Amino acid sequence: PGQKVELELKNKGKAAHTFTISKQSVDKEVQPGDETETEVTFPQSGQLEFVCKFHQSSGMIGVLTTSGSGSSSTTTSDSKY
């Protein structure tokens, strides 16, 4: 909780996507077959929502969750693009 982590983003699909966290001014675009990295700060507790701004209306939304005990997990949507 509260720590910065570096995330590796890979787009294995055939369409461009973004990894966008408005609350942290994170907005990374990843082209098909490409990859990039970004830093995010986990919340002290609770969840931090991220979206693909190109496909958010189709349900491409995920959540970074911290339990407050130092462990974290990632949940992503399973949209096929």
Quick: pLDDT tens for 12-31.
Answer: 999 999 999 999 999 999 99
Distances (CA, A) of 60 to 29, 54, 72: 14, 9, 20
Distance CA 76, CA 62 (A): 4
Placement of tokens 């082209």 in the chain: 31
- Residue 79 above 80 pLDDT? no
For the residues 51-73, what does the mean pLDDT come to?
Answer: 82
Q: Residue written as tokens 């096929």?
A: 80
Task: Check whether 71 has a pLDDT greater than 50.
Answer: no
CA dihedral 35, 40, 42, 48 (to 10 degrees): -80
Pair of tokens at residue 48: 């931090």
